[in-house]
Amino acid sequence: MKKILLVIVFAMLGTFANAQTKFCFVDTEYILKHIPEYKSAQTQLDDLSADWQKEIDTRYAAIEKMYKSYQAEQVLLSDEMKTKREQEIVDKEKQVKEYQKQKFGFQGELYKKREELIKPIQDKVFEAVNKYADQYSYGVIFDKSGDATMLYTSAKLDKSNDIITALGYKAGDYSGAKGTEKVEKTNKPAPQKK
């Protein structure tokens, strides 16, 4: 699959080179790390996830306690009581699994909360990239943080800091780092076309 993707990318690059289309790349992961709202949203999601996981762990611990109690008393119980206790344990496990699916499953509450908090920020970055492409006449802007493998990238083609600045945030020294510097909001306009 990656070979096919690379062939397509190189074919596109050949086509763009013939058409004299400009291209560059950005690192959206790096850009997002420079947006305080993204960090705040990510922290909120992490906290929510941790709380739900703690609840799930507590419920599983209660089920484990029920099971151990059942094992200890099993010899004293009638067949009817054994069946009833076993069913209670199975029902509790189903409830916890359903709760886990409700919180963490596909289209679950965590997914919906992520859509609510993160998607608007990602849309804002996407819009800034589109405006940057229009303003500086780029035909293609690649995302370095995605799954597409880039065998070589020239630092002069990396426009991640320009996008951060266009969004109104202070860009740091990229140099391959993943955005660990302190972030401050600025009112500086995006760099002008040279």
Q: How many CB atoms lie within 10 A of CB 107?
A: 10
pTM above 0.75, yes or no: no
Domain extent at residue 74? 39-111
Let me know if residue 105 belongs to a domain.
yes
Contact between 159 and 183 under an 8 Å Cβ cutoff? The reply is no
Taking only the tens place, the pLDDT of each residue in 60-97 is 999 999 999 999 999 999 999 999 999 999 999 999 99
Res 154: pLDDT: 65
The number of folded domains in the chain is 1
Q: Report yes or no on 49 lying in a domain.
A: yes
Question: What is the phi/psi pair of residue 22, to 5°?
Answer: -85, 145
Q: Is 28 part of any domain? A: no
Is residue 118 in a domain?
A: no
Residues near 69 by Cβ (< 8 Å), separated by ≥ 6?
none
Residue 151 backbone phi and psi in degrees, to 5: -75, -30
Inside any domain, residue 73: yes
- Asked, for residue 82, whether it belongs to a domain, the answer is yes
